[in-house]
Amino acid sequence: MCGRFAITLPTDAMAQLFAAAPANDLPQVPNYNICPTDPVHVIRSDGTQRSLLSMRWGFIPHWYKTPADGPLLINARAETIAEKPAFRSACRERRCVMLASGFYEWTKDTEGNRLPWYITRRDTAPLAFAAVWQDWDKGDNPLRTCAIVTTGANATMSKIHHRMPVVLEPEQLSLWLGEEGKGAARLMQAAPEDKLQMHRVDRAVNSNRAAGPELIEPFD
């Protein structure tokens, strides 16, 4: 599961790093507390040109009559994505990459209090989450929506949660984005355990209204 994350990289840096042409309506950065239904930074490719776009985090299947017509689909399980009616077409034809600096996960103490953790790459590079997208146009305001692909946790992540996002390496992006033909399914697995690191952060981030760089600072 991935239900909250942060992005701190400037827009021009994201565009340059991922060789993508930026759109004009990208979300403001930095954002230390990105929540479901917020606009997020997404890389998409038409096979020859990559674009850095804004999409709504929360995939809306084409049969939903309203955005709230069913469950909020922020994650898609790698194990069943090719079978689920909501995602099976997208995983073949509409794959994308969601960008993050780090993401949050929670454990509980003996009293049931939610204790937040912030997870990043050890090499401090941005996280590139495997994702899928869907255009929804049933309402007055058409939406371009997306969901993160998740898989079983690696040994590092399993200390705090049994699921994790599929984190792509730079050399895997072309295959996931459809620039190198078929075979993207083999990328839907947990990152090696030495790729990620984590630290406790203040419980302030438990509120979806919290903001500011202090949310990702280590907390003892």
Q: What is the pLDDT of residues 151-172, one digit of tens each?
A: 999 999 999 999 999 999 999 9
Options 2, 91, 96, 146, the catalytic residue: 2
Q: What is the pLDDT of residues 84-135, one digit of tens each?
A: 999 999 999 999 999 999 999 999 999 999 999 999 999 999 999 999 999 9
96 is catalytic: no
105 is catalytic: yes
pLDDT of residue 176: 98
Q: What is the pLDDT of residues 190-200, one digit of tens each?
A: 999 999 999 99
pLDDT of residue 94: 97
Cβ-defined contacts of 167-171 (< 8 Å, 24+): 167/121, 167/127, 167/128, 167/129, 167/130, 167/191, 167/195, 167/196, 168/97, 168/128, 168/129, 168/130, 169/128, 170/128
Domains of the chain: 5-216 (3.90.1680.10)
20, 56, 76, 108, 218 from 73: Cα distances, Å: 26, 11, 7, 24, 30
pLDDT classification of 1: cutoffs 50, 70, 90: low
pLDDT of residue 139: 73
Q: What is the pLDDT of residues 46-98, one digit of tens each?
A: 988 999 999 999 999 999 999 999 999 999 999 999 999 999 999 999 999 99
Q: What is the pLDDT of residues 8-24, one digit of tens each?
A: 999 999 999 999 999 99
Options 35, 79, 93, 105, the catalytic residue: 105
Query: Is residue 140 scored above 90 in pLDDT?
Result: no
pLDDT of residue 138: 86
Higher-pLDDT residue of 181, 194: 194
